[in-house]
Each structure stands twice: as C-alpha cells, then as structure tokens.
Amino acid sequence: MAMKALLIDLPRCMGCRGCQVACKHEFKRPAEKTGFFGGPGYQNPADLSKDTWCLVTYNEVLVNGRFEWVFGKRQCMHCQVPGCISACPVKALEKLPSGPVVYHKEKCLGCRYCMLACPFVVPRFEFTSWNPYITKCTMCAHRQAVGEIPACAKACPTGAITFGDRDALIREARRRIATNPTKYVHQIYGLEEAGGTCVLHISSVPFDKIGYITRGVPSSPMVAHTEPAMKAIPVVMLGLAAILGLGYHLRTRLEHNRSAGRPPTQA
C-alpha cells in the first residue's frame, strides 16, 4: 500500500476553521473555554491541546509593506520515521504502512517521553485526569480503513487540504510551486523535516514567520540520534564482562602467588 499523506496548501486557506470543527466532531472531543490572548489574536484556541488535535493558526505577517493574515495548520505531522515511536518503551505508538501514526492507549504508561521526543511538539497529555492518556491526531486512520479521507480534508471548502499518495502529493506540491513561483516560497515543509513527514505544507511566506518550528528540527529521523548509544549496549556488556572477569582473575591469582600458599582474601 502506498504511503498516504496530506498536502496543506496554506495560500488557499481562508481561516474558516472548518477542519478544526470537523476534527472535534469526528473524535467527539469537547469544546474548550477560550479567550482572546496576546499575539495572534483571532487564533482560537491558543494551542493544540488534549481536545484540539487540529488547529488553524492566525499569523499577522508583513507582506509587501502591509500586514496580512496568513494562516497555518498544526496537527501531528505523521513522520515517516517518528521520534515518538522510537521513544515509546512499550510500543504504544505505531506507524501504519498507509501513513498514520496511531496510538494504542491500553499499552501506554504515561511516561510522556514521546512528548519530549516529538520535534513538532504535538502529543498532548491529559494532565487533569487520574487515568491520563496521550492524545493526538490519527490522520483519521479509522476513516482511511473504510476508504474515507480524513475529516479535515473532507471538510475543507477551498481545497487547501488534499489527501493522497505521498509521492503524488510531493509532485503536486512541486508543480504548484513551479507554476506559481511568485506566490509560494520554494520549500515543502515536511519533505525532509525529521526525516520526512506525511503532512506536507506549502506557504506564501517563510515558515518561521507563521509559527512553524524550523530552527533545530533535524533533517534526520529522531531515532538516528539515539541509535549509536543504543547500539553500544552489547559492546559495553561484553567489554565490561570480559574486563571485570579477567581483571578479577588476574588480581586474585597475583595475590595468591604473592602470599604463597595462604588463601589470598582471608588474610
């Protein structure tokens, strides 16, 4: 099965938040009590939360000498080699061959290492519950399983969210940028970030201006950073066992020979 993906064409977004509502509806997540806050003003709510897995961000950006609203979209990026999965000690997170990164809640310990590992700061934790789980976007894996497209893509009225094969969407993104080179910045966010993701974004303004995490996100998968240390485990075990065993044997032999006949440690 080809790996599916979402292409988010930000210039087509008009900030209606239909995707946000569709997501809440699909997963029956309750509404949040929100208010105006400093900064991006009309953005609502301020951040992804345990109940908001899909968020349209509102950004005032200086474009050609005047301020304009530029919208962004935040959700799980569904990395190709996800950091959260390599972090999880009990395999509560799983990458489906079709693209989605899904969560098996019954396995989860609540250690929150996935939250630390995620370069896009996506997984959320139910801190207010006595029996808390991690929550995040599932790319509507349950809808995909029955041939439907994700709820956000279905709801979008302007075609800003396209669902399809990842390879095809990369070609499509490149085509859109190439046919309209002045409209788009020449970058596909998600093509290489953290080893490549299944949510691809194209934008009319540089991504760091609209709150995307650009600084510090490595282009290699997160697991590449822990792998060398994990690979060293057998070397350390074997090395220590050999050195300690041999060292002990040689030392006691030496002491034994020195104290000629007397058992060494009962001196």
**SS3 at position 124:** strand
How far is residue 66 CA from its own chain's centroid? 33
Neighbours of 121 (CB within 10 A): 12
- Of 169 and 223, the one with the shorter C-beta distance to other proteins is 223
Tell me how far, at minimum, the Cβ of 28 lies from other proteins, in Å.
21
The tokens describing 176, both together, are 């859109």
- Of 25 and 253, the one with the shorter C-beta distance to other proteins is 253
* C-alpha to C-alpha distance for 100 and 77, rounded to whole angstroms: 9
- Of 71 and 184, the one with the shorter C-beta distance to other proteins is 71
- Of 131 and 182, the one with the shorter C-beta distance to other proteins is 131
- Of 171 and 251, the one with the shorter C-beta distance to other proteins is 251
- Of 88 and 202, the one with the shorter C-beta distance to other proteins is 88
* C-alpha to C-alpha distance for 59 and 65, rounded to whole angstroms: 15
Q: Is the peptide bond before 45 cis (omega within 30 degrees of 0)?
A: yes
**SS3 at position 73:** strand
Contact 162, 6 (CB under 8 A): yes
Site residues for other proteins per CB under 8 A: 47-49, 83, 86-91, 107-113, 115-117, 119, 121, 124-133, 211, 213, 216-218, 222-223, 225-230, 232-234, 236-238, 240-242, 244-245, 247-249, 251-253, 255-256, 264-267
N-term to C-term CA, the chain:
72
The string over 54-65, giving b where at least 16 C-beta atoms fall within 10 Å of a residue's C-beta and e elsewhere, is: bbbbbbeeeeee
